[in-house]
Chain A
């Protein structure tokens, strides 16, 4: 049965996959980063369709707002001109294409042969608040408090590590 959500899903899926292809094939890296914004926004819309509103917002804020901006900063800092010199693919791109197609075929085969293939979503209980449940699960001691704290430690370690690695030492300090 064709419904509005199905039409939205198909349009968003096609746009997302198309812009993902542009990300990996664009010659200009800044264009690739902008196509990445489109692809990430499409995934955010899919989170919205899946009724995970909090994750849709987090996707826009963290991925588009922080990660892509960081990537564009790095492109600006490391390219003399945004166009890559010579080929944008390495000499093994044929192998890469074959492996990717093989992985896709294997995943689709595994999904199709799985009995839960055509399962439909049950409507959510009207009183069910997934944001409140997520918040409780992240801090409850019998929930996911420990992985949550570990993620914060990981972020702190990444923060310090990034500063130390990118630190430009003066010549006399070397």
Chain B
């Protein structure tokens, strides 16, 4: 059997990899992909705690479903923003979108 700790350490690793992608990548779409990895790590944690702590209470899976909905909404709005920015400025490199920086 797999102890709970394996899932938690795996999720911590996935979260850290996603965090590195968010902080270090230049392209805005690559940053969004890092956020997806982080959300997936959170979902693994939610489902693992549901299965190992109280499987008769379904809350962990409900939370994971809500995270799915939030991730879909976030990606839709984020990509629409990137396409709009690309149309006006011709780039989506995060370090060149500095219109609001002074």
Contact = CB atoms under 8 A, between A and B. Distances in A.
Interface of A: 1, 3, 5-6, 9, 13, 16-17, 20-21, 23-24, 29, 32-33, 36, 39-40, 43, 46-47, 49-52, 54-55, 58-59, 62-63, 66-67, 70-71, 73-75, 77-78, 84, 87-93, 95-97, 99-101, 103-104, 107-108, 111-112, 116-122, 124-125, 128, 130, 133-134, 137-138, 143-144, 147-148, 151-152, 154-155, 157-159, 161-163, 165-166, 168
A3 B17 CA distance: 28
Interface residues of B, number: 72
A134 B58 CA distance: 6
B2 A51 contact: no
Contact of A161 (B44, B77, B83): B77
Interface of B: 1-10, 12-21, 23-27, 29-30, 32-34, 36-37, 40, 43-44, 47-48, 50-53, 55-56, 58-59, 61-62, 64-66, 68-77, 79-84, 86-87, 92-95
Contacts, number: 251
A84 B26 contact: yes
B72 A67 contact: yes
Given A111-B8, A128-B55, A96 B72 contact: no
Contact of B32 (A71, A84, A120, A148): A71
Given A29-B29, A67-B36, A130-B58, 9 more contacts: A23-B34, A74-B79, A88-B25, A88-B27, A90-B94, A120-B3, A144-B59, A152-B69, A154-B70
